[in-house]
């Protein structure tokens, strides 16, 4: 049975990360928000300080005990750490070396040799294309085997940390006519001929993190740089199967992304409550809702929504640590936490009125940063569709 209290180990991790967030991230939040595309050199020092927990950040965890004892390992450590780091600053966290979403993909489905070689790199994830948003099955970037090399051609957009990363995990199709079954992911080292960063995006939020467009033109990589098998899977009747292998990556990455929303929402709640307390408005937990004024009642509701998102994240991470299928739970926590995270930050801005909207405080920045969390790693609509398929036991073809 899941224990809703954090272990002493993870409580210590959270406390340490919160100190880093408060004293080594928050002081630079406004600087790098204004200086978009400027590399946050201070985050290298933060990264060194959390290097001991890097295994957690990449999703590694101990194997469940043979006697069935539950494990709170790497996945739980990852989300707990992200609660604190994104309480500090979402953009600065994303700009830290080794925190790329591609790292989770390599750890999830890479071979031992791939994990050893690239697991500690700064890996970005290349999925979205100009004509392909949430429909990952419609990938047009191609990968053709030529002797001992794969040749990649295509364009990717909205690649988080695509400029700063030293490794890319690229989704491409072996044969567009075969649909989902032919979509695979490949490891591409930055600097490989034919791989070029063509543009950096100017964004509303997470401005401390770069977002790039990358083109692949006859880009050749070693044959062994495919993640998973190059075979196009078929079922018992010989029908082509969906791209479950690459999609498993999302089961690993969605809980951490949801944890980012939990962190920034907590930051907004803490700051809003501190500002409102100075004006004589304080949330009183010992009062019945009917006895609260309108602002207190809304703060109470926002706290409850935040707690619901947080618990869903912890459950999805706990299931991953115990090797339990968590696709439904991963999408549930991403859908809930990302939605309420954006809602909470915006309402905190509104509740604090001019102080919330002004750059005098970071509340407006929290609201801007929170929106992307509801979009990347699968939009709100995609998460709800995945949950519906799992609950109703429908395939993607049966429920679109």
| 230 touches 145 (CB < 8 A) | yes
Could you tell me which residues are beta bridge partners of residue 143?
A: 152
Q: Which residue is catalytic, options 279, 377, 393, 398?
A: 377
Cα distances from 399 to residues 330, 355, 376, 395, in angstroms, run 19, 45, 22, 6
Per the annotation, the verdict on 278 as an active-site residue is no
DSSP string covering 336-361:
HHHHHHHHHHHHHHHHTHHHHHSTTS
- Closest C-alpha among 13, 80, 32 to residue 317: 80
DSSP string covering 22-83:
IIIIHHHHHHHHHSTT---THHHHHHHHTGGGHHHHTT--PPPPTT------HHHHHHHHHH
Could you tell me which residues are beta bridge partners of residue 169?
A: 125, 187
DSSP string covering 266-278:
HHHHHHHHHHHHH
CA 73 – CA 55 distance, rounded (Å) = 10
By annotation, the residues acting in catalysis are: 377
């Amino acid at each position: 049975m899941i224990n809703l209290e954090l272990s002493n180990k993870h409580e210590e991790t959270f406390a340490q990360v919160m100190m880093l967030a408060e004293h080594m991230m928050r002081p630079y939040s406004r600087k790098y928000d204004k200086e978009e595309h400027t590399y946050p050199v201070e985050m290298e020092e933060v990264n060194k300080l959390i290097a001991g927990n890097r295994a957690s950040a990449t999703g590694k965890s101990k194997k469940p005990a043979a006697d069935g004892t539950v494990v709170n390992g790497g996945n739980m450590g990852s989300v707990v750490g992200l609660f604190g780091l994104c309480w500090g600053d979402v953009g600065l966290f994303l700009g830290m070396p080794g925190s790329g979403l591609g790292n989770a993909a390599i750890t999830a489905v890479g071979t031992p040799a791939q994990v050893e070689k690239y697991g500690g790199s700064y890996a970005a994830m290349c999925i979205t294309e100009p004509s392909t948003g949430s429909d990952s099955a419609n990938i047009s970037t191609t990968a053709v085997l030529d002797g001992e090399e794969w040749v990649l051609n295509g364009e990717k957009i909205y690649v988080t940390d695509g400029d700063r990363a030293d490794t890319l995990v690229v989704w491409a199709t072996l044969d567009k006519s075969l649909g989902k079954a032919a979509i695979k992911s490949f490891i591409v080292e930055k600097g490989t001929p034919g791989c070029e960063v063509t543009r950096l995006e100017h964004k509303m939020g997470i401005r401390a993190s770069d977002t790039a467009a990358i083109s692949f033109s006859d880009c050749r990589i070693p044959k062994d740089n495919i993640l998973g098998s190059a075979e196009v899977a078929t079922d018992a009747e010989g029908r082509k199967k969906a791209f479950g292998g690459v999609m498993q990556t999302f089961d690993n990455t969605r809980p951490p992304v949801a944890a980012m929303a939990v962190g920034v929402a907590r930051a907004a709640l803490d700051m809003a409550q501190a500002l409102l307390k100075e004006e004589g408005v304080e949330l009183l937990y010992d009062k019945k809702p009917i006895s609260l004024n309108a602002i207190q009642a809304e703060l109470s509701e926002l706290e409850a929504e935040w707690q619901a998102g947080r618990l869903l994240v912890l459950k999805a991470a706990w299931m991953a640590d115990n090797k339990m299928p968590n696709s439904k739970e991963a999408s549930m926590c991403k859908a809930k936490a990302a939605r309420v995270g954006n809602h909470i930050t915006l309402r905190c801005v509104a509740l604090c009125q001019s102080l919330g909207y002004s750059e005098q405080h970071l509340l407006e920045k929290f609201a801007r940063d929170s929106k992307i969390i509801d979009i990347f790693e699968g939009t709100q609509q995609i998460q709800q569709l995945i949950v519906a398929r799992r609950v109703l036991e429908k395939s993607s073809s049966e429920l679109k």
